[in-house]
Structures are given as C-alpha cells and as structure tokens.
C-alpha cells in the first residue's frame, strides 16, 4: 500500500508543471517541442491520474489491478509525450516518414495503453467530493449513456477511425496541418480521439465476451483499410503533399517520393500487424475459453467502454 502511494505521489511530482520559460529554453537546446497547448494538457492529465489513483488505492483491496492500470497510464502517457514533444515531432516537419511514425505511436501505442488504464474514472476520483458526485451523475445520465454506447459501438468506432484516417491524409487537409500549427493540433486530436473510441470498443470486456466476432471483424477491417491507404502511398511515384515536395530532400537524404513510400510502408505493415495481431489474440482467447464459460454472460447496467473505472461518486474525503 505504502509503495503504491509512493509511486503515485512520485508520478505527480515528476510530471508537475514547470515554468514555461524554462521549457522554452530546454526546447531550444534539445529540439523538443514544448507547445503549451500540448504540454499543459499532458501535465494536467498526469496530475489528475496520480491524484485519482492515490485515492483509489486507499479505498480498494484490488491494489494490484490498479497498480497495473497505473503502469498502463505511465506507458501510454510516455508514448504521447514521445510522439508530441520529442525530437520526433520536429523531425516530422521535414520528413513524412517521421510524421507517420508519430501518428502510428499516437494511434497504435498511446491510445490502447491509455484505454487499458481506464482514465476517466480515475480522473473523477481526483476531483473534490461534490464535483465527483456531479461527474457520477453525468455518467449515469441516460442521454450521455446512449451517446457513449453509440460512439463506442464497434462498427461506429471503426468507421469513425477509418474516415478520420483517410480524410486527414487527403492532400488539402494534410497540407493545411503542415502549414498551420493550429490545424496540426486539431489533426492530432482527431487521430487520438478516434483511436481512443476505437480501442475502447475493441477492449471492452463485456462486448468482447458477448460478441467477439464483431471485434475480430472490425480489427481485420481496420487492418485492411489502413493497409490500403499505406499501400497507395508506398506504391505511388509522385508526392501527395506539396509542403513536403517543396522541402526537397529530407535530412536523411531521401527524396519526397522515397520519404512518402517509407511512410506508406510504416502505415501498411506495422499498422496492419498491430490490428491483425489484436484480432488473432481475441480469437485465441475465444478458442481457449472453457466450454462452460458463456461468452455472453450477464452485463451490468453502466456506461460501456474501457475508459471508465468504477463509480466516480465515492465517499467523501481523500
């Protein structure tokens, strides 16, 4: 118990906000991108999760489960920071392949790890008691619950992610994101939000137990959809994006076409492998389930989705 609290408190201190002028100075020396529009939400999320998980650990006997979720959050948060703040982000301004790697980390690494950490319920536990009760009331609201069920329904979430992926990789919006920092932030938010909805649906225990075939089909469909887009890039002999074509040769010596082909391969092969691997993992789990284990067991009435973590309106105090 004490060890778990020390981990949570240490995380809060390590990720606490620091003066923005110091961040700017560090960014100038290390090529880290420390835009306040990105760093502040990341720091707030880290502080909220650390506070919430510390309170949960004081009230639960399932400490190993929540410590494991804390580990998922740290890994997912670190993947976000790597994609959005590290020199990889700056490299993406001159290399489409680096930009694609950044997007793959957001959607294939950070998003599923954050979903596994069940952050929304933990964030709620970080709030004062009255605000916690309000958040719990919103979660139980019928309209919100219906909206959440629709948003995270497997077919809907899969379709939204596919539309987001293809729409933002069209030349006009992608060039707009490259030329405008504001549109770049919107692009990353769209990729992350659609991936969070998708992985919430895919990792929802109740849906997976009731209809595993739907999750498997959606994962394979996503592998095909993203793979097709990546293949088109990899096999193209002309650059799609004017902003990269105008830059000419990348710092690594690749032409705009070669850089685009490498980016396409990153989306095609690793991206397809992650989704196909997740589908195969669900298939293996279904095949290994004991004969008496009904895959369509009873469900609790709650807001579906792996982003949630139990009641958000717990006891006063903390």
pLDDT tens readout for residues 254-284: 888 899 999 999 999 988 899 989 999 888 8
Q: What is the mean pLDDT of residues 229-250?
A: 88
Has residue 181 been placed in a domain? yes
| Percentage of the residues of the chain whose pLDDT score is greater than 70 | 80
The rounded mean pLDDT for the chain is: 80
Of the pLDDT bands very low, low, confident and very high (cuts 50, 70, 90), residue 228 is very high
Has residue 78 been placed in a domain? yes
Query: pTM of the full predicted structure?
Result: 0.79
Has residue 163 been placed in a domain? yes
Has residue 223 been placed in a domain? yes
154-164 pLDDT, tens digit per residue, is: 999 999 999 99
Q: Provide the pLDDT for residue 189.
A: 94
Has residue 318 been placed in a domain? no
Q: Provide the pLDDT for residue 8.
A: 41
290-313 pLDDT, tens digit per residue, is: 655 544 444 444 444 456 555 444
Instruction: Check whether 211 has a pLDDT greater than 90.
Output: no
Has residue 249 been placed in a domain? yes
Q: What is the mean pLDDT of residues 25-53?
A: 78
Q: Which domain holds residue 199?
A: 2-288
| Residue-wise DSSP of the chain | -HHHHHHHHHHHHHTS---HHHHHHHHHHH-----HHHHHHHHHHHHHHHHHHHHHHTT-S-HHHHHHHHHHHHHHHHHHHHHHHSHHHHHTTT-HHHHHHHHHIIIIIIHHHHHHT-HHHHHHHTS-HHHHHHHHHHHH-HHHHHHHHHHTSHHHHHHHHHHHHHHHTSHHHHHHHHH-HHHHHHHHHHHHHHHHHHHHHHT-HHHHHH-HHHHHHHHHHHHHHHHHHHHHHHH-SS-S-HHHHHH-S-TTS--HHHHHHHHHHHHHHHHHHHHHHHHHHHHHHHHHS-TT--TT----SS--STT--S-SS--S--
Has residue 307 been placed in a domain? no
Has residue 302 been placed in a domain? no
More confident residue, 151 or 299: 151
Q: How many domains, in total, are found in the chain?
A: 1
């Amino acid at each position: 118990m004490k060890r778990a609290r020390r981990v949570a408190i240490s995380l809060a201190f390590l990720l606490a906000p620091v003066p923005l002028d110091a961040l700017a100075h560090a960014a100038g020396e290390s090529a880290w991108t420390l835009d306040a529009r990105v760093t502040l939400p990341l720091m707030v999320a880290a502080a909220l999760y650390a506070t919430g998980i510390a309170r949960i650990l004081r009230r639960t006997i399932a400490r190993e489960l929540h410590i494991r979720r804390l580990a998922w959050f740290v890994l997912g948060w670190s993947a976000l920071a790597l994609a959005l703040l590290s020199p990889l982000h700056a490299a993406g301004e001159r290399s489409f392949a680096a930009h694609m790697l950044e997007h793959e980390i957001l959607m294939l690494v950070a998003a599923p790890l954050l979903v596994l950490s069940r952050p929304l319920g933990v964030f709620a536990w970080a709030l004062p008691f009255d605000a916690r009760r309000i958040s719990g009331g919103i979660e139980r609201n019928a309209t919100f619950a219906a909206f959440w069920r629709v948003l995270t329904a497997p077919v809907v979430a899969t379709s939204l992610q596919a539309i987001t992926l293809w729409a933002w990789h069209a030349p006009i919006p992608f060039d707009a994101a490259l030329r405008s920092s504001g549109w770049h932030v919107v692009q990353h938010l769209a990729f992350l939000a659609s991936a969070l909805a998708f992985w919430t649906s895919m990792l929802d225990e109740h849906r997976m137990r009731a209809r595993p075939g739907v999750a498997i089909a959606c994962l394979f469909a996503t592998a095909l959809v993203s793979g097709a887009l990546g293949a088109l890039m990899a096999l193209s002999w002309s650059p799609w994006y004017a902003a990269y074509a105008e830059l000419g040769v990348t710092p690594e010596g690749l032409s705009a076409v070669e850089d685009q082909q490498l980016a396409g391969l990153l989306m095609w092969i690793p991206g397809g492998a992650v989704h196909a691997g997740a589908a195969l993992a669900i298939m293996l789990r279904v095949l290994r389930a004991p004969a008496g284990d009904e895959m369509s067991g009873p469900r609790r009435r709650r807001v579906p989705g792996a982003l949630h973590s139990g009641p958000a309106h717990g006891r006063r105090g903390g």
